[in-house]
Amino acid sequence: MLIKVCNISDLEDQKPKKFSINSIEVLAVKIKNKVFVIDAYCPHKGGNMEYGDVDGYKIKCHLHGYEYSLENGKLVYNPYGKSSGWYFSPNLKVYKVEIKGEEIFIEV
């Protein structure tokens, strides 16, 4: 099922913006002519990704500095270099995006 997130004009380049749709909170990020929609909260310990830094096609969580790919959600940098116990992080959820004209939709 496709649900509308926002319009392209609602987004500023490289600035994550949070939207609540039904009971889901997501972030939309526009980079040049691409739009990514991800979970609003970090898969590590729930940091609010709205405060994350976007760099290239990655987003860095402000809490512990983990970085995730906006394209596939994979953890691409863990500053601690450890992955067990507290350091473990699943990948970030990335939604499949469809753009119809000015409107941005995700598949849920």
47 counts as binding ligand FES under rule CB under 6 A:
yes
Both tokens assigned to 34? 């691409």
Query: In Å, what is the CA distance from 41 to each residue of 50, 64, 92?
Result: 8, 13, 9
Positive or negative, the CA dihedral 71, 8, 99, 4 is positive
DSSP-derived secondary structure letter, 66: -
37 counts as binding ligand FES under rule CB under 6 A:
no
Q: With respect to ligand FES, which residue has the nearer C-beta, 46 or 56?
A: 46
Residues 58-77 touching ligand FES, rule: CB under 6 A, are 61, 63-64, 66
Q: With respect to ligand FES, which residue has the nearer C-beta, 53 or 102?
A: 53
Residues that bind ligand FES (CB under 6 A): 42, 44-47, 61, 63-64, 66
